[in-house]
């Protein structure tokens, strides 16, 4: 299918829009397998589900395949399989969303659904430095519809509050009751979010990322513990996260299937 539109999110991040009936009806948290002709096929979280059968994903150029996606032009051809995976389960109430970088991609469609049901959202967006922040304007637009709050944190203090997203998260939980926490971003951050959520007895749903080759639970390249991220995830609840805590943020399989340390 053709790339219909491209949105510049930053110098290294773009959102690609395409037309697909199934993807436009996907649920937040689901992903597609994107085939770049002559290069590779990689998983991408669906970051937009729109009217008129439109859908989209957001890519940061970091490797060969993601760079090829980033360099795509309008009318270039992509292959799309999906949507696949277990989605987020929306819980309407006092919600906390913790994201970083392109980790916001699967969280924003969820926030849009929650806002339609008048949920109250505390959204914490973290990053190392100013250049890592993307999709912030869309987050502000989404959360402007009722009494919700966005807090920005950067490790070097170049944007928002200086510090870690998890520091702000813990300070909020000390003062306010939260029904559920949703998160996506670097795995070490997700692990810390989970540990803090456990400390305050708040349920959590996290979107995990792994190398995927088949996307449908056959090849096993995305295994973590006894789970396959493509089939049993990518959304993991508190129970599943507790089962994989010894691997979370520490190990993953590389393209050859070897278990490697997460850097």
Region 133-139: mean pLDDT is 94
**Residue 48 · residue 109 · CB < 8 Å:** yes
Averaged pLDDT for residues 41-55: 94
- DSSP 3-state of 168: helix
Longest dimension (CA), the chain: 53
Distance of alpha carbon 58 from alpha carbon 83, whole angstroms: 15
CATH for 94-261 is 3.40.50.80
**pLDDT for 183:** 98
pLDDT of residue 250: 78
State the span(s) of the chain assigned CATH 2.40.30.10.
5-84
pLDDT digits (tens, 9 = 90+) for 1-24: 899 999 999 999 999 999 999 999
Q: Which of 95, 150, 91 is nearest to 126 (CA)?
A: 150
**pTM reported for the whole predicted model:** 0.95
The rounded distance, in Å, linking the Cα atoms of 204 and 96 is: 9
For the chain, what is the mean pLDDT?
93
Q: Give the pLDDT band (50/70/90) at residue 134.
A: very high
| pLDDT: which is higher, 130 or 256 | 130
Return d(Cα 213, Cα 167) in angstroms, integer: 36
Q: What angle do CA 175, 181, 186 make, to 5 degrees?
A: 115
Tokens linked to 243: 């089962």
pLDDT value of residue 95: 96
| 50 pLDDT above the threshold of 90 | no
Does an H or E element contain 9, and which? none
Spatial neighbors of 58 by CB under 8 A, at least 6 apart, are 9, 13, 14, 15, 16, 44, 45, 47, 102, 105, 134, 135
Tell whether domain 5-84 is in CATH 3.40.50.280: no
Please report the pLDDT score of residue 123 as a whole number: 97
Q: What DSSP line would sit under 52-94, residue for residue? A: TTEEEEEEE--SHHHHHHHT--TT-B-EEEEEESB------SE
């Amino acid at each position: 299918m053709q790339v219909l539109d491209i949105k510049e999110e930053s110098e290294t991040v773009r959102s690609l829009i395409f037309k697909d009936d199934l993807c436009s009806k996907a649920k937040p948290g689901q992903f597609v397998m994107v085939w770049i002709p002559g290069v590779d096929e990689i998983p991408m979280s669906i970051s937009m589900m729109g009217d008129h059968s439109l859908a989209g994903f957001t890519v940061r150029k970091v490797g060969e395949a993601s760079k090829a996606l980033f360099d795509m032009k309008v009318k270039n051809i992509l292959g799309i399989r999906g949507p696949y995976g277990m989605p987020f389960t929306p819980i309407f109430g006092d919600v906390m969303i913790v994201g970083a970088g392109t980790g916001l991609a699967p969280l924003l469609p969820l926030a849009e659904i929650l806002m339609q049901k008048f949920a109250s959202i505390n959204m914490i967006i973290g990053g190392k430095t100013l250049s890592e922040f993307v999709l912030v304007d869309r987050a502000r637009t989404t959360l402007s519809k009722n009494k919700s709050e966005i807090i920005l944190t950067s490790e070097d203090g170049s944007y928002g509050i200086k510090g870690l997203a998890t520091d702000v998260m813990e300070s909020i939980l000390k003062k306010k009751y939260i029904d559920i926490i949703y998160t996506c971003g670097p795995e070490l951050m997700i692990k810390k979010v989970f540990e803090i959520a456990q400390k305050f007895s708040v349920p959590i749903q996290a979107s995990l990322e792994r190398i995927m080759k088949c996307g449908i639970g056959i090849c096993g390249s995305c295994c973590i513990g006894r789970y396959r991220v493509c089939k049993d995830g990518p959304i993991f609840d508190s129970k599943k996260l507790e089962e994989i805590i010894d691997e979370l943020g520490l190990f993953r399989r590389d393209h050859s299937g070897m278990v490697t340390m997460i850097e």
